[in-house]
Amino acid sequence: MRTALGKKESQEYLGISNLVNLPFNWSAGPYLGRWLIELRDNGKLWASRCSKCQRLLLPPRVICGICHVRAPEWPNWVELSGKGELIEWEKVVAPQMNPSTGKIEQEPYIHGNILLDEGVTFQHHLEEPDETKLKEGARVEMVLKPKHERKGLVTDILYFRLVKE
Amino acid sequence: MSRRVGIVAVAQTEYEEAKPAWREAEITYQIVEKLLEETRLSFAEDGTGIDATVTCSSDHWDGRTLSDIPHGEVSGAHLRAEEKVSSDGINAVIYAYLQILSGHYDVVLAVTTCKESQTVGHIIENLAFDPVYQQKIDLDFLAAAALQANRYIHKYGITPEQCARVVVKNRSNAKNNPVAQLRKPVSMEEVLNSTMLAYPLRSLEAKPVSDGACGLILASEEKAKKLTKKPAWIVGMGQCYESHYLGDRDLAECDTLSLAAKRAYQQAGITNPLRDIDLAEISEYCSYQELLWSEGLGFCEKGEGGKLIDKGVTQIEGKMPVNPSGGVLSGNPTLVAGTTRVAEVALQLMGKAGARQIPKARTGLAHGTYGPCGQHHAVLVLQA
Amino acid sequence: MANRVAIIGVGQTYHTSKRPDVCIPELCNEAIRAALKDAELTIKDIDAVVTGNMELFEGRYHQDLWQVDYVGSYHKPGFRVTTGGTTGGTLACTAFFCSASGLFDVVMAVTFEKQSEGDSRAGLKTVADPLWDRWISTGAIGTFARLGTWYMKESGATEEHAALVRLKADRNACLNPHAHLKLHLNTVEDVLKSEMLVPPLRRLDMCPTSEGACAIIVASEKKAKKLSRKPVWVKDWVEVHNEMRYNRGDPVSLENLEKAALTIYKRNGITNPRHDISVAEIYEPSTWAELVWYEAFNFCDKGEAYKLIERGATNRDGEFPVNPSGGVIATNPIGATGMIRVAEAALQIRGDAGAHQVDREVKRTFTTAWGGSSWTVAHLLSKTLD
């Protein structure tokens, strides 16, 4: 390795460590905020539809970024059934640092990309821990946490489980 | 091939202590929507629309890598050009200016957004200091400013009253500014008795935590004239970096601001700032800075910043009104402050400054700064 | 169109996995010294300095401020632009804008990355919306695995073709003194036996994380003619971003890549890229990306990219060399990577690339940078002014 000081046989390189703990309190805003409240209080999953290109926007947001027109506000949203089919999945085995807590999470989990029946995709954990039981196109459905455990977060959805035939 | 570039439209949100009802990008969209409405421009790519966007936000303040993803989404970035400046917002305007001067684009949208209320500023600011010498002594921009204030006061005999006068003036000016955050005037006594934060800086002498956004549309001369009756032309621009190590600098001087101003004045043909410029919007994050930056901008000799305000030169009815908008002290978020200064000067030159309008404003100066003790300064001179 | 500017100097550090011997500004200093030497200029000749890197990766706020005393921006104008993975390519554009503006004659752009000084995996996770999918984001690897699976299905390409891409990159990197990974791979088997990450993506199918810096010096037409014997003219540049992707599991969009290439080609009369362009330095984070992007950039028809690599068309001595420097798969200091493409392309045009020089006249080069949510920046450099 060529170094700034020329090659040296043994050199102690000092480093300065710093762990930064930066707290945040992000506003959810009127769109995502309402979406989360609906999930928490009524167990419902919503999307909005762009009036110009007609695609579903999940989550609902202030404008359609492609058409650049304002997207509908609550309650002119489309209710989703929470059912769909599995497009693909990934078993995450390597321990991951959770950037929200700074902690390393060890538990392997499977997260899936789901095409909801209404025609929009969504990512979440899958209940099934055994990859071999997963198939492309498998029917899945949303499972919520019990109401008293829901906090107004995306994780108020517990996971998606395979629909039993 | 040199072209003239003008600011054709300006939009600001109300600056508030917090905007808990909105996400950062939703605030940006409020600005973009206003600008599109006013100019009737779209993001069309056939030469009739906005050619590119320059956003300005901070990954640290937004808590998000690539913080321009959501800001870009609402400001027309889909399949179009967008770049993010991470320096003070005046540099976003400057970058848009350079993009048009280059001939590559004709119309550029610049927007800066920051929500200071959602996180803790002094932790972020500490990360701007080099990790070897300055970070570990827990400096943030306020502590560094206090160091500078002490040095400046000691070297030139600036008094606490002269510093407090800046606050009284700007807070009084803010009452005429419908978007200012702090619109209630304060008295000398209130300033001089407010809580000591970092000696000698008291709480009313430092800018408050603020949320908001500011945006402008710049256009080449031909298009600017079609978009508005009275563009605010950019006639001079200067930027300058100072050394990072505070110990290497004489904090009572701001030669880099003088260098930046010199470049801008040269381009604008300004030889006597007090005579040639009708108003200035300068970025005073703390009271003493308005005095010090006034010296750097050549409004008075070195060390005479205190005398300048005592003589009333920078009052709203004075020879060189400084911060008729209320300035940063009346509440601007970091980063946004620089863009706001340009927007305010543009409004003055366009005759749209309402109750805070300086009569017959023809030439204005906007100043932005970032970094500890003004490590980077930028100056724009605009003309009607 | 823009006022004309040229690249008159380029410099890079010797990229490697870790540089514990220098701090960030010292790393950048190496690159700017190399660029100044290349241009035969001193820092006094530089009118402005613009910088960039991935903002949160090293965790520093206003990174450009610490660098002032090391990159020569002391008492000079400049600012910082940060656009994620495309930063290097964007900063090249920034230098072009500044120098074409007429307000600065000679502008230096510096980009770097020193990832070991932060937690870049966490840094990448924070791209995701904190309230939507940050909890589930796992970074970029799955994306390219998916791309590979899709491409094999669409075109009939096999994992061997991806391995051929890696072999080409490695052969080129071994001839490039600045490249990071010089693995001396010999056969397809050498690549195929590397660790499988997410099928079909193997470790050798992905770019490394490198530490390094890159600097380029750009001058206005008049100054370029005066200061440089071999100015590399900048013909055009384009940036294509997009709306936020709320589901990062969705397929990598090729729209941005296609639009960037199409815009450059249309504006510059390029109808047959493999013929009208001499060399391409594209930003390919993965072997699969290189294959798919040959098609996105219209180097060949859809479904034909693997045939190009099969017959060695994009080798250094092939009919259309792509990434003679070894590319991103061999060297990836993220903030600098986009700019390294431009620097390497400039060296090729000048005939100064040394051992990895392509052996044909290089008249025009096409360079790209990629990042963000599939953003693309592209530039067109030319040996001559016209």
Positions in chain B short of pLDDT 50: 1
User: Using CA atoms, how far apart are residues C23 and C19, in angstroms rounded to an integer?
Assistant: 8
The pLDDT of residue C192: 96
User: Using CA atoms, how far apart are residues A13 and B137, in angstroms rounded to an integer?
Assistant: 22
- Pick the range with the lowest mean pLDDT from A50-54, A143-147, B149-153, C371-375: C371-375
Which residue, C225, C247, C250, C237, is CA-closest to C365?
C237
CA atoms within 13 A on the CB side of A53: 12
User: Using CA atoms, how far apart are residues B379 and B368, in angstroms rounded to an integer?
Assistant: 7
Q: How many CB pairs under 8 A join A and C?
A: 81
Tell me which chain B residues have a C-beta less than 8 angstroms from the C-beta of C82: 59, 84, 86
Beta carbons of C372 and B66 less than 8 Å apart = yes
Please tell me which residue of chain C has the smallest CA distance to B132. C23
Which residue, B83, B92, B39, B49, is CA-closest to B214?
B92
Cβ of residue C92 closer than 8 Å to a chain B Cβ: no
Please tell me which residue of chain C has the smallest CA distance to A105. C135
Alpha-carbon distance values, B149 to B327, B379, C209 (Å):
18, 22, 44
Helix (DSSP H) and strand (DSSP E) numbers for chain A: 1, 12
Minimal CA separation from B88 to chain C, in Å: 9
In this structure, which topology does domain C132-208+234-382 adopt according to CATH?
A: Peroxisomal Thiolase; Chain A, domain 1 (3.40.47)
State the best of C4, C97, C374 to mutate against chain B, taking most chain B CBs within 10 Å. C97
Q: What does the radius of gyration of chain A's CA atoms come to, in whole angstroms? A: 22
Beta carbons of A100 and C130 less than 8 Å apart = yes
Counting as contact any 3 or more CB pairs under 8 A, the partners of B are A, C
The pLDDT of residue B1: 47
Positions in chain C short of pLDDT 70: 1, 138-141
Please determine whether the domains at C5-121+210-232 and C132-208+234-382 fall in the same fold group of CATH.
Answer: yes
In this structure, which topology does domain C5-121+210-232 adopt according to CATH?
A: Peroxisomal Thiolase; Chain A, domain 1 (3.40.47)
Type of residue at C5: V
- What does the longest C-alpha to C-alpha distance in chain B come to? 59
Beta carbons of C21 and A11 less than 8 Å apart = yes
User: Using CA atoms, how far apart are residues B259 and B240, in angstroms rounded to an integer?
Assistant: 7
User: Using CA atoms, how far apart are residues B105 and B90, in angstroms rounded to an integer?
Assistant: 19
The pLDDT of residue C120: 75
Cβ of residue C61 closer than 8 Å to a chain A Cβ: no
Cβ of residue C256 closer than 8 Å to a chain B Cβ: yes
Of A16, A25, A62, the CB nearest to B118: A25
State the best of A22, A31, A32, A97 to mutate against chain B, taking most chain B CBs within 10 Å. A22
The pLDDT of residue C72: 95
Cβ of residue B132 closer than 8 Å to a chain C Cβ: yes
ipTM of the prediction greater than 0.95, yes or no: yes
CA atoms within 13 A on the CB side of A143: 11
- Domains of chain A (ranges; CATH) run 27-80 (no CATH), 81-165 (2.40.50)
Which residues, other chains included, contact B203 with Cβ-Cβ below 8 Å and sequence gap of 6+? Answer: B194, B195, B196, B197
Q: What DSSP line would sit under B160-216, residue for residue?
A: HHHHHHHHHHHHHHHTT-TT-S--S---HHHHHHSPEEETTEEGGGBPPP-EEEEEE
pLDDT tens-digit series, residues A61-111: 999 999 999 999 999 999 999 999 999 888 877 777 776 677 787 778 888
Of B86, B99, B245, the CB nearest to C80: B86
- CATH 3.40.47.10 applies to domain B5-119+209-227: yes
Beta carbons of A22 and B74 less than 8 Å apart = no
Alpha-carbon distance values, B365 to B9, B235, B337, B382 (Å):
17, 10, 14, 6
Of B29, B60, B127, the CB nearest to A62: B29
Which residue, A148, A147, A145, is CA-closest to A159?
A145
Q: What DSSP line would sit under C143-156, residue for residue?
A: HHHHHHHHHHHHH-
Minimal CA separation from B30 to chain A, in Å: 10
User: Do residues B27 and B240 touch, judged by C-beta distance below 8 A?
Assistant: no
Where helices occur in chain C by DSSP H, the ranges are: 24-39, 63-71, 87-100, 120-125, 141-155, 159-174, 188-192, 221-227, 255-267, 273-276, 287-296, 305-310, 327-330, 334-350
Average pLDDT of every residue of chain A = 90
Q: Is the dihedral of CA B173, B179, B182, B184 positive or negative?
A: positive
CA B300 from centroid of its chain's CA atoms: 21
**Domain range annotation of chain C:** 5-121+210-232, 132-208+234-382
User: Using CA atoms, how far apart are residues A142 and A150, in angstroms rounded to an integer?
Assistant: 14
